[in-house]
Structure 1
Amino acid sequence: MIRTLWLRIFVTGFALWLATVAVTAWTGNSNLVPTVVLFGSFLVPVTFVVWAYGRGRSPGVTVELLFQAFVVGGVLGVLGASLLESWLLRPSILMYVLVGLIEEGVKLAALIVVTRYMTRRFTRDGLVLGATVGFGFAAFESAGYAFNALFTASGLSLSQLVETEVLRGILTPVGHGLWTAIAGGALFAARGRLTGPVLLTYLGVSLLHALWDSMSAIAIAITLVLTGRRWQFELLRIGRVPDVTQWQVHVYTVLNWAGLLVISLVALLWLRTIAVSSRREREILSQ
């Protein structure tokens, strides 16, 4: 039953979200906007937490602990990242690297806080709880992005809110939840100690995060190198933004999505490697 619960949650939640969007658009009732924001931001993260729990159930991972990891871990991560980024971030070529280090660091710290009383730690538990903290972070962060997308120069825009939630919902499974699952698996494989492999894993997922966030800028740079015209480089040299051709727009789009796909595949393969080792760990302990 638990293995199919995630599907029922997603179908029911998606239907309710669609109904809320339709009624909000039809009536213009702004009181329904928070419901649209919450349903759209939390549906995919909650669905994947239930899916992960169903695939990796363990006596040490209770529903109460999952709730704490999602809500407490997610909020602690968002608050910590907001504070550190406001103190440390300045426009520079290293900005995306710092964002990756900060956000992956606070999520790992939040995972350590919410699991501090666990007496037995298995790698699979770390994968599930790490993913839960990451999805909690993603849900609260997406709610903020959706809320900001609502406000435009011409007034409230339900269409922009919905577009933001759909895009972030599609990308959420290969973002925060995936990266923190990898870090959580490494942490629990080390029995909660910050060992060399754990720190290297943290740096690795931070790099994936930085590449993900900077993929648009990387795609723009590669597009200009491959298809740039002399007049465009001349305008850039004097600090002006040049117009782009339709072909360059297509090249940029392909490069951007291809880059995100490669980053996602690397992370998924890394996660699979840890999951396979966790199964071997369980087999050895059960003998």
Structure 2
Amino acid sequence: MNRKESVKPFKRRFEYHNHLLDDATKEMNEWTGENKVVEIHLFAMFSEVFKPHNRDDAESLFIVGTRDTTPSLEAVSVTPVKPWLFSRVFALLGSSFVLLAMLFLVFRSNNAVPGMIFIGSLTVPFSLLIMFFEINVFQNISVYQLLTVFLVGGILSLIATMILYSLIPSGNGVSWESAITIGFIEETAKMLVIAYFVNRFHLNYIFNGLLIGAAIGAGFAVFETAGYTGQYGLVTLLMRSWQAIGTHTIWSAIMGAAIILAKDRHQPVTGSNMVAPKFLRFYLLAIALHAAWDWNAPFAVLDILYLQQWVLIAVGWLAIFVLINAGLREARTLQGQRILKNTQLGS
């Protein structure tokens, strides 16, 4: 067999996987209203992470969202998003956790444990939240609003979850029936809180929904992880910390964007929006991802290197990238409509 012939199977396998990816993004993109494949360019999207940025660059991002710093629709950037600040926040929180761990391990200081639990629970969800804050191209949500949703929304979603748990039997948490029930309860609780804040802040854009959803999901994740760590120890913290890249924060972001997709622009979220196909598809996807995450699948292969979790993380992020594409498409459409309107008024 010559070299060209030996390469062919690998080429065919790559093309097959690429075809699967295209089919998946096209299907999800149809849920947003566009019948096209979404091209995902990870290196381009995160290219700014590896470039130098100074303090002024960071501070300019944190001051957006006020009456004076929210850009007009014409000034909104519709170029592909390239977040970077989240990586610095992650490095800051991660290094803080390492220092606290050193304090605990070297000096045997139990006083470091509460800090480790708090910072460890916060690091990944909050860093993801900053990423969603960066990619909100409309820059119409301030840091103060974001922290309010993160803290208050996270707690409210936990309260709503406990209320639903008291009303709906959830089982043992590992069977597929129980996993679906838990997924339904927790995602529904977060969805209700997301809808409340969307109405509270009069939000109308897909990127807004992604951000508000991520804030509530991140708050939920931080408090839940801290609680579980208090019960089961620091090993639980380490496990849940890395897994947070693909759990509550992105599941809730998906639902937040879906709520915006389903509701009428400049109108509040209503019950009828909750049964619209544009919402239901992504809502059911979030429940399915959550249920599959909790399910103790009877397949040994899924336990190898946490394959089950990595597959679900990939699917969740696939939905996020599709919704980011939909958000940029929405911004371009709105800008085009505004330009056309201004042209007609000027003629």
What TM bracket, shorter-length normalisation?
Answer: 0.7 to 0.9
In 1, Cα distance between equivalents of 2:128 and 2:146: 12
Which is further off, 21-30 or 39-48?
21-30
Matches within 5 A, 1:17-28: 17-28=97-108
In 1, Cα distance between equivalents of 2:292 and 2:141: 32
Cross-structure match for 2:198: 115
Letter in 2 for 1:22: M
Which is further off, 131-140 or 90-99?
90-99
Identity %: 26
After TM superposition, give the deviation of residue 277 of structure 1 in Å.
1.6
Deviations 1:212-246 (A, max 9, x none): 110xx21xx234xxxxxxxxxxxxxxxxxxxxxxx
Cross-structure match for 1:222: 299
In 2, Cα distance between equivalents of 1:57 and 1:185: 14
Which structure has greater helix proportion? Answer: 1
Cross-structure match for 2:18: none
After TM superposition, give the deviation of residue 252 of structure 1 in Å.
5.6
Cross-structure match for 1:232: none
- 8 Å Cα contact 1:66-1:132 kept in structure 2: yes
Q: 1:253 to 1:24 in 2, by over 3 A?
A: same
Q: Which of 169, 174, 190 in structure 2 is aligned with 1:89? A: 169
Q: Which of 5, 14, 23 in structure 1 is aligned with 2:94? A: 14
Letter in 2 for 1:202: Y
Q: How many residues align?
A: 244
TM-score w.r.t. length of structure 2: 0.66
Cross-structure match for 1:176: 248
After TM superposition, give the deviation of residue 54 of structure 1 in Å.
1.2
In 2, Cα distance between equivalents of 1:143 and 1:264: 21
In 1, Cα distance between equivalents of 2:261 and 2:201: 14
In 2, Cα distance between equivalents of 1:87 and 1:59: 39
Letter in 1 for 2:185: I
Cross-structure match for 1:205: 286
Q: Which of 200, 203, 217 in structure 2 is aligned with 1:134? A: 217
After TM superposition, give the deviation of residue 88 of structure 1 in Å.
2.1
Deviations 1:240-269 (A, max 9, x none): xxxxxxxxxxx4622x72222222222222
After TM superposition, give the deviation of residue 168 of structure 1 in Å.
1.2
Q: Which of 263, 266, 273 in structure 1 is aligned with 2:322? A: 273
After TM superposition, give the deviation of residue 120 of structure 1 in Å.
4.1
Deviations 1:198-225 (A, max 9, x none): 13321221011101110xx21xx234xx
TM-score w.r.t. length of structure 1: 0.78
Matches within 5 A, 1:233-252: 251=301
RMSD: 1.9
Q: 1:145 to 1:51 in 2, by over 3 A?
A: same
Deviations 1:96-115 (A, max 9, x none): 11100010001111112223
Cross-structure match for 1:282: 331
After TM superposition, give the deviation of residue 57 of structure 1 in Å.
3.8
Q: 1:281 to 1:50 in 2, by over 3 A?
A: same
- 8 Å Cα contact 1:72-1:114 kept in structure 2: no
